[in-house]
Structure 1
Amino acid sequence: MFKNLLNMIKNETEVEGTDHRILFASLLVRAARVDYDYADAEKKQINKILKKKFNLTETEVEKTRIEGETLESNTIDTVQITRQIKREIPFEYRKALAEDLWSIVLADDKRTDYENSFMRTCIKLIGLSDVDGAKARHAVLNKIDDKNE
């Protein structure tokens, strides 16, 4: 029991000292893995977002995503990640984060109840409203529709 408690404290400390790009990547990975199907389309979308957001090389993108995967695997609770993201990312950029998260969830052309539940919770955890989350989802769906036309 004490070992589990110590691990939780250790994991929280690890999240707090993490580069914001890796934190960002870990939240994207969590969104991709929430349906227990971490598809190649989702990995490609994560890479695309990381490259665009942080102006990274292909090698840096791959490294950042892999470090994000590791952090996500070692972090028990989404709250640990989102709490630190709220400290690192100004409010005005969080709507774009919501769109990025939705683009990951929708990248594999499937939307599960797990993903819907995760997104509702995550939107609130990053300090946005349900309306902001819905607008972000619609913006991503519109981009997908425009791309398919």
Structure 2
Amino acid sequence: MIGRLFRKPEPDKPDGRVAVAALLVRVARTDGDYADAERAVIQAILTRRFGSADMLAQAEALEQSAGDTVHLTKAIKDEIAHDDRLDYLQDLWRVVLADEARDFEEDGFMRLACNLLGMGDRDSARARQLVQAEGG
């Protein structure tokens, strides 16, 4: 009972699917250039994963309003099994590599996101290598 008095109420948690999409948008915006190629890759991912690219506008709005990446990754971790997260790391790498210009901001963001998703650097490297092996 006393613990509840001091616990901060949890902000409205976003839908896990929209949080996934917002994280894709966030990695695309990390380098300061949200390129058309990145948008196209995100739309393709959303269509493949969720059957619709229509959630892109909702994801962009959530990405803008979500103060920190922790808020997004918590929603993802609550809804996506640990064993399935490697697939989502691959999707993040698909966005990073979409504009063919990988930079240190994106690498830093990938380290942070990977950690927040409960994954390690090896998982991230494996996901990146799988994406590069498929040619994108």
User: TM (normalized to structure 1)?
Assistant: 0.82
Unaligned runs of 5+ in 1: 1-8
- Alignment counterpart, residue 88 of structure 2, candidates 77, 91, 97: 97
Is 1:41–2:37 an aligned residue pair? Answer: yes
Identity over aligned pairs, percent:
41
Contact 2:41/2:95 (8 A) holds in 1? yes
Q: CA RMSD in A?
A: 1.5
1:79 corresponds in structure 2 to: 70
1:13 corresponds in structure 2 to: 11
Deviation at 1:37, TM superposition (A): 0.3
1:53 corresponds in structure 2 to: 49
Structure 2: how far apart are the matches of 1:21 and 1:43?
A: 17
1:137 corresponds in structure 2 to: 128
Deviation at 1:84, TM superposition (A): 1.3
Unaligned runs of 5+ in 2: 1-7
Q: Deviations over 1:38-80 (max 9, x none)?
A: 0000000000000001122xxxx13x11100000001111011
Aligned AA for 1:52? R
Deviation at 1:19, TM superposition (A): 2.1
Greater helix content: 1
Structure 1: how far apart are the matches of 2:39 and 2:27?
A: 11
Deviation at 1:129, TM superposition (A): 1.1
Aligned AA for 1:114? E
Structure 2: how far apart are the matches of 1:113 and 1:130?
A: 15
Deviation at 1:81, TM superposition (A): 0.5
Structure 2: how far apart are the matches of 1:143 and 1:42?
A: 17
- Alignment counterpart, residue 125 of structure 1, candidates 103, 116, 119: 116
2:24 corresponds in structure 1 to: 28
2:57 corresponds in structure 1 to: 66
Secondary structure, aligned partner of 1:144: coil
Moved over 2 A (4+): none
Aligned AA for 1:90? A
